Amino acid sequence: MKDVNDSESGGRVTIFDTTLRDGEQSPGCSMNLEEKVRLARQLERLGVEVIEAGFPIASEGDFAAVRAVAAECRGARVAALCRTAEADILRAWEALRDAARPRLHTFVATSDIHLEYKLRKTRGEVLEMTRGAVRLARTLADDVEFSAEDATRSDVGYLCEVFAAAVEEGATTLNVPDTVGYTTPTEFRELVRAVRERVVGDRRDVTVSVHCHNDLGLAVANSLAALDAGARQIECTVNGIGERAGNAALEEVVMALHVRADRLPFACGIRTEEIYPTSQLLSEIIGFGVQPNKAIVGRNAFAHEAGIHQHGVLSNPLCYEIMTPESVGVPANRIVLGKHSGRHALGARYGELGYALSRAELEAAYTRFTRLADRKKNIYAQDLISLLSQETRARGPFLARAAEFEVAGA
């Protein structure tokens, strides 16, 4: 069994990707079997350690997709979700039959509000359901994760009692979900610490996991805060898709670990250059992308329009970039020409188009450019060329590809 609790600061964090399960549950994000397998392959290439492939009892399609992903992915662990009912667990196990590294992931809600209005069960009954589910799951799989749904709105004492029962029955991962995206970083850190201290103690064979939703925009912050308290698995999704406002975004979690390794000294095994291709593949499959200013993978994440910024980036990208676009698989940083751009960026773009301008030519072009940029949102290579004097145009080596070159607003 892996040693996950060797130190509270540093070590390894497991990235558990639930794009194919929680992500797929969000409106407009459904995927067919072939698409799920294609994405799962890319998740393996990305270096995800656990791929949650679906909820097999939910539908024939989910069952078939989990089977197909399990057959395809031989390196990553493949997880299947199930409630605590025997039929759920058996169905999930059947779907995982061919997996090289199967994980059964069983869950039940632990908050009083869910017990009273959704499950109509007492605390004692849910405790027994937990015991029964984990016990059965362990007769089938060595790797069993137990999640306490709505953990952040549960009574902490009761939550720890349920988790302790799951550990006694052999659960190897205890997942603390913020199902409704309600918690805050400091509160969540305290909760995870309580679970670590009261339930896991010195055991080195039980991993504490977190699964945060983004209803208050805090999913990534909450997930990272939990690392301080000893969580060593983060559940997340590509592009942050998921129920309602989504789940913690994988790319944000991973790049926070990467860029701020001084504060978050955890290895996670993700090949960061595969982040952008993975994000693009998901967008292509589900038919919509992320908002332009989305961290890490948004169209503007590495775009610089303000003149001062452009000058800085052209001199040294470190002036305004805390990571390179290449490090996440974005081909190059994009200097976007618009009304805030300065002479440096304009000169650099003319250079790319094959025109080496004198200071006076650049000045003249810049004056025309700012007038145009006030009126026109997207400025293309053709526009830039037309801003040059006839003389300069005739002199410059006209690039045949210039017409295809989209300079701004791509």
The residues binding ligand KIV (CB under 6 A) are 22, 107, 147, 149, 175, 177, 179, 211, 213
Query: Whose CA is closest to 83, among 58, 102, 64?
Result: 58
Q: Is 361 helix (H, G, I), strand (E, B) or coil?
A: helix
Closest CB 106 distance from ligand KIV, rounded Å: 9
Closest CB 242 distance from Zn ion, rounded Å: 6
- Which one of the spans 19-27, 46-54, 135-143, 155-163 is the region binding Zn ion (CB under 5 A)? 19-27
Per-residue CA distances from 147 to 160, 177, 207, 265 (Å)? 12, 7, 12, 26
Query: Whose CA is closest to 348, among 334, 328, 327?
Result: 334
Closest CB 213 distance from Zn ion, rounded Å: 6
150 touches Zn ion by CB under 5 A: no
Among residues 21 and 77, whose Cβ is nearest to Zn ion?
Answer: 21
The listed partner (Zn ion, ligand KIV, none) that binds 147, CB under 5 to 8 Å by sort, is ligand KIV
End-to-end CA distance of the chain: 49
Query: Total residues contacting Zn ion (rule CB under 5 A)?
Result: 1
- Which one of the spans 20-28, 108-116, 253-261, 269-277 is the region binding Zn ion (CB under 5 A)? 20-28
Closest CB 108 distance from ligand KIV, rounded Å: 9
Question: How many of the other CB atoms lie within 10 Å of CB of 102?
Answer: 22
Among residues 240 and 342, whose Cβ is nearest to Zn ion?
Answer: 240
Q: What is the Cα–Cα distance from 380 to 377, expressed in whole angstroms? A: 10
325-353 burial, b if ≥16 CB within 10 A, otherwise e? bebbbbeebbbbbbbbbbbbbbbbbbeeb
Among residues 196 and 211, whose Cβ is nearest to ligand KIV?
Answer: 211
Closest CB 144 distance from ligand KIV, rounded Å: 14
Amino acid at 163: F
Exactly one of 22, 49, 88, 361 binds Zn ion (CB under 5 A); that residue is 22
Per-residue CA distances from 142 to 90, 134, 163, 170, 219 (Å)? 15, 11, 17, 8, 29
Among residues 173 and 175, whose Cβ is nearest to ligand KIV?
Answer: 175
Q: Is 291 helix (H, G, I), strand (E, B) or coil?
A: coil
Closest CB 9 distance from ligand KIV, rounded Å: 26
The listed partner (Zn ion, ligand KIV, none) that binds 276, CB under 5 to 8 Å by sort, is none
Q: Which residues contact 189 (CB under 8 A, 6 or more apart)?
A: 225, 226, 228, 229
Strand bridging mode 77-82 / 303-304: unpaired
24 touches Zn ion by CB under 5 A: no
Among residues 19 and 333, whose Cβ is nearest to ligand KIV?
Answer: 19
Closest CB 23 distance from ligand KIV, rounded Å: 10
Whose tokens are 């991973």? That residue is: 254
Among residues 113 and 308, whose Cβ is nearest to ligand KIV?
Answer: 113
Closest CB 7 distance from ligand KIV, rounded Å: 26
Closest CB 247 distance from Zn ion, rounded Å: 6
The listed partner (ligand KIV, Zn ion, none) that binds 107, CB under 5 to 8 Å by sort, is ligand KIV
Task: At 181, list the tokens.
Answer: 């995206």
145 touches Zn ion by CB under 5 A: no
Q: Which residues contact 243 (CB under 8 A, 6 or more apart)?
A: 22, 25, 26, 213
Q: At what angle do helices 250-259 and 275-286 cross, to 10 degrees?
A: 170
251 touches Zn ion by CB under 5 A: no
Among residues 214 and 310, whose Cβ is nearest to ligand KIV?
Answer: 214
- Which one of the spans 17-25, 108-116, 254-262, 346-354 is the region binding Zn ion (CB under 5 A)? 17-25
Among residues 209 and 341, whose Cβ is nearest to ligand KIV?
Answer: 209
Q: At what angle do helices 156-168 and 123-140 cross, to 10 degrees?
A: 30
Among residues 132 and 289, whose Cβ is nearest to ligand KIV?
Answer: 132
Summarize as ranges the residues that interact with Zn ion (CB under 5 A). Answer: 22
